[in-house]
Amino acid sequence: MTNLTHIDETGKAHMVDVGAKPDTERTAVARGEVKMLKTTFDLIAAGSMKKGDVLTVAQIAGINGAKQTSNLIPLCHPLALTHISVELALDAALPGVQITASARLRGKTGVEMEALTAVSIAALTIYDMAKAAEKTMVIQNIRLVEKHGGQSGDVVNE
């Protein structure tokens, strides 16, 4: 059975004490998609959304989201990220937008939640920017692709 690190011996939630852990290089990559109608896709691709440049705004929102992760997820530690990138790619086959976020730091705890939050906030921003054109968009398949560093070692899911 796996020990839940965010649950104390009495079964109550608590923030994990990472003070004794060594600082190590830690990276994480997450991905997700926003699936939409072809007409909405075409508006985004043409830069014709009334709210402006959907992909640039979503990219900046994703970066800001990663930096705010500990304010959004109650038991996450505030982290001094050394790098966060959010890449958005139009995918006509979906149709929609593929989102990839990478986070990095040297510290005592991992950056998986920061990468996942970046993808989530970027996806929500795409929805917000395009909802006037379509309210049936689907935010889907948000997942950790890989993480490196820390006691649990490397994980590669794709």
Report whether pLDDT(151) > 90.
no
The residue-averaged pLDDT of 129-143 equals: 97
Q: Is 128 a catalytic residue?
A: yes
Q: What is the pLDDT of residue 88?
A: 98
CA distances for 65 relative to 34, 58, 85, 92, angstroms: 17, 10, 11, 26
The residue-averaged pLDDT of 101-129 equals: 95
Residue 123: Cβ within 10 Å count: 27
User: 121 with 54: CB under 8 angstroms?
Assistant: no
* Domains in the chain, CATH or no CATH each: 24-156 (3.30.70.640)
Is residue 27 classed exposed, middle or buried when 0-12, 13-18 and 19+ CB atoms within 10 A define those classes?
buried
In tens, the pLDDT along 47-90 reads 999 999 999 999 999 999 999 999 999 888 899 999 999 999 99
Tell me which DSSP letter residue 13 carries.
B
- Cα–Cα distance for residue pair 129/86, rounded to 1 Å: 17
pLDDT band at 18 (very low <50, low <70, confident <90, very high): low
Residue 95 preceded by cis peptide, ω within 30: yes
Report whether pLDDT(42) > 90.
yes
* Single pTM value for the model: 0.89
Report whether pLDDT(150) > 60.
yes
User: 84 with 101: CB under 8 angstroms?
Assistant: yes
Q: What is the pLDDT of residue 20?
A: 63
Percent of the chain clearing pLDDT 70 (strictly above): 88
Catalytic residue among 8, 42, 128, 154: 128
Q: What is the pLDDT of residue 5?
A: 65
